[in-house]
Amino acid sequence: MESSLTSEQTAPVPLPLPPPLPYPAITSLHQKRLSPRASQNWGSCRASTAGNPALDRLFDGGYRADVLIHTDHGGVIYAHASFLGVASPVLKMILKQTKGQNRGRHRSVSIRGVPPEAIRVFIRFIYSSCYEEDKLQEHALHLLALSHAYAVPQLKQLCEWWLERRLLTTENVIDIFQLAMLCDAPRLSLICHRFILKNFKPVSVTEGWKVMKESHPVLEREILESIIDEAAKQDYRVKKINERKIYEQLYEAMEAVVHIFRDGCRTIGPLDKIVLKDQSPCPYAACKGLELLVRHFAGCKRRVPGGCIHCKRLWKILELHSRICANPNICRVPLCRNFKHKRRRENKKDELKWRILVRKIVRSKSISGAPFFSLESS
């Protein structure tokens, strides 16, 4: 008898199973709507489209509500001070100030200038961090203003996300831009500003632009100035890109010159080398044009600098090559060493222009030197 009792007492008691987890904070449906990058940036906003039934019933039924939120047109929304105070420090301070004013059961808070339905969506989000997409899209601007005024950062981030990625259009970009600056949303204001710069013509004929022009002429002037600055920057970028292309073409021409007089190409080359007719295609696009210039230079009767435009062009190419040639003593390009000696008699102004040109050409390939080109030679 004692042995049976002892075995029963020492037998391990199985632990009860844990209760099921509550509803997920972010539903899979909401996660599918966000891109991987967006979900990473907005992961701290634990909002979802699926609500908590208990909290929804508490909010809709107003069970033991102790706060009356007065809206426009005589509307009243019942709420609980504990939920409002935890979610919003601004509402917590307002409720704290009105605690001793009303002897009755309910405390009153007034939220004016916003549609009552937007206030209802705002309070519902405070309760359960949930929302309905159609309601959020309809009142996104009002919800952004409410979330900023009452310091509800999760809702503010959510409104910014929807406005940036889903709701920004030509018709409302001016209104969103002004509201973003008032609500301290720098990312949203930057995206709106870029949208205005990119689509200025359709934006400038909208009703929002006309209203802003009358009510905020300073902001309109700043936007126009930024558009002028952006156009100037774009022109400068295009100019630099075109200049870089020219310098790259000159660099390739210098490579082609060395290739022709050192290795030979197609039907032209040095005297001690036999040019094969069935050789592989030349990798230098400038070789064909240089070959025509060399043949013209060899047979031209006005072969003096300034006499023939084609000879002058080849003369400048050969002089430019001598400026960047790293080994003039062993270089096989004609007149390379002659131009090196000629440089000693040039004035400083011309020498400075050549130095600047050589530096830009060599740096167009993002290098400080090459097998046969060098900045130091200039």
Q: What's residue 335's pLDDT?
A: 84
CA 132 from centroid of its chain's CA atoms: 30
Q: What is the pLDDT of residues 17-72, one digit of tens each?
A: 655 544 443 333 333 333 434 444 443 344 666 667 888 889 989 899 999 999 99
Question: Strand 107-110's sheet: what is its strand order?
Answer: 76-79, 67-70, 107-110
Q: What is the pLDDT of residues 226-274, one digit of tens each?
A: 999 999 999 999 999 999 999 999 988 898 888 888 887 767 777 666 6
Measured between alpha carbons, how far is 200 from 194 in angstroms, rounded to an integer? 10
Residue that is written with structure tokens 């909208």 in the block = 206
More confident residue, 100 or 235: 235
Q: What's residue 45's pLDDT?
A: 44
Q: What is the pLDDT of residues 299-339, one digit of tens each?
A: 887 766 557 888 888 888 888 888 888 887 888 888 888 88
Measured between alpha carbons, how far is 138 from 163 in angstroms, rounded to an integer? 11
- DSSP helix/strand/coil, 171: coil
Q: What's residue 49's pLDDT?
A: 63
Mean pLDDT value across residues 282-310: 79
Measured between alpha carbons, how far is 253 from 259 in angstroms, rounded to an integer? 10
Enumerate the H helices of the chain as residue ranges: 2-10, 28-33, 36-41, 53-61, 81-87, 89-97, 116-128, 133-138, 140-149, 153-162, 173-182, 186-198, 200-204, 207-215, 217-262, 287-299, 309-324, 336-342, 348-363
227 Cβ contact list (under 8 Å, min separation 6) = 196, 197, 200
Measured between alpha carbons, how far is 353 from 228 in angstroms, rounded to an integer? 32
- DSSP letter at 79? E
Ranges of CATH 1.20.1020.10 domains, the chain: 242-363
Give domain 47-167's CATH architecture. Answer: 2-Layer Sandwich (3.30)
Helix axes 287-299, 309-324, angle to 10 degrees: 120
- Nearest alpha-carbon partner for 166 in 25, 31, 33: 33
pLDDT band at 361 (very low <50, low <70, confident <90, very high): confident
More confident residue, 74 or 34: 74
What phi, psi does 107 have (nearest 5°)? -105, 150
Prediction pTM value: 0.68
Ranges of CATH 3.30.710.10 domains, the chain: 47-167
Dihedral, CA of residue 53, residue 57, residue 58 and residue 59, to nearest 10: 100
- Nearest alpha-carbon partner for 363 in 239, 244, 242, 241: 244
- Nearest alpha-carbon partner for 367 in 256, 195, 191, 248: 248
- DSSP letter at 72? G
CATH class of 242-363: mainly alpha
